[in-house]
Amino acid sequence: MVRFKSLLPKSILAISLTAISALAAPAYLSAQQGQIQGQVQGQIQGQAAVPNFTHPETVAADLERLDLALNNTGTLQGRFSQTGSDGSLASGTLYLQRPGKIRFEYDAPNSLLLVSDGVTIQQTDTALGTSDRIPLSSTPLDFFLKQSVSLARDTHVLSLQKYAGETHVNVVDASGQAQGNMTLIFNEPNLALKEWRVTDEFGTTTRVSLSQLVYNQQLDPRLFILDNSRTTDRRRRD
């Protein structure tokens, strides 16, 4: 089992999670299950408890709206702020290009760089001169970075909750290949993606908040080239 060192990769890129029961659940949980789990989630988040599906009758239409918002974003760049479950903070610059490409440049003194070329994600510690790799398909980012996102097709939707000015959708990969579960948080009514949260099998959650975003401008393709000079391919190890 391999675990990357930084909080973001540990949550997003955990290699081997135990099977979670949600993977075997239907896309839309029963009303009773949704009510119970929604109450628990609401208490944990310190918010008023709401069902897992606040408007079950509009889930399909709501997912289509979220798909459209995501698919209208071919590229974006901006700032990210990362909060670990232990309260640790990090920040940096984010670049994203569909399909499959993303880059997190951490601000000093953090020496980490995280890059996906569309197939593989590489984490580099620029201070130590070391790198590790895992397949993009083994992470929750895989469906999120597809050319054409379909939450109903590509994920099991565990909850879709509407708050004042926000919509939260919590999903796991439908294929079972990607590890962990992911919550996407959108502003209303423009459905701009403002945050995501990734939770691993131990209940460790990492939050990534986005700001100063610029959409659909051409990005330098060199941003997404992997450095092959100092890489350990962890896919060959246990």
- Is the pLDDT higher at 65 or at 31? 65
Is the pTM higher than 0.85?
no
Alpha-carbon distance 10 to 90, whole Å? 14
Q: Tell me: the pLDDT tens digits for 118-174?
A: 999 999 999 998 999 999 988 878 888 999 999 999 899 999 999 989 999 999 888
Q: How many domains does the chain have?
A: 1
Q: Is residue 234 included in any domain, yes or no?
A: no
What CATH number is given to the structural domain containing 113? 2.50.20.10
Q: Please, what sign has the CA dihedral across residues 141, 143, 147, 148?
A: negative
Q: Is residue 198 included in any domain, yes or no?
A: yes
Q: Is residue 2 included in any domain, yes or no?
A: no
Q: Is residue 131 included in any domain, yes or no?
A: yes
pLDDT for 178 equals 67
Confidence of residue 230 (pLDDT cuts 50, 70, 90): low
Q: Is residue 166 included in any domain, yes or no?
A: yes
3-state secondary structure of 72: coil
Alpha-carbon distance 97 to 213, whole Å? 13
Is residue 41 within 8 A of residue 159, CB to CB? The reply is: yes
Percent of the chain with pLDDT over 90: 59
Domain extent at residue 151: 8-13+26-215
Q: List b or e across 37-51, with b for residues whose CB sees 16 or more CB atoms inside 10 angstroms.
A: bbeebbeeeeeeebb
Confidence of residue 62 (pLDDT cuts 50, 70, 90): very high
Mean of pLDDT over the chain: 78
Q: Is residue 36 included in any domain, yes or no?
A: yes
Q: Is residue 139 included in any domain, yes or no?
A: yes
CA distances 197 to 58, 69, 164, Å, are 23, 18, 19
Q: Tell me: the pLDDT tens digits for 98-116?
A: 999 999 999 999 999 999 9
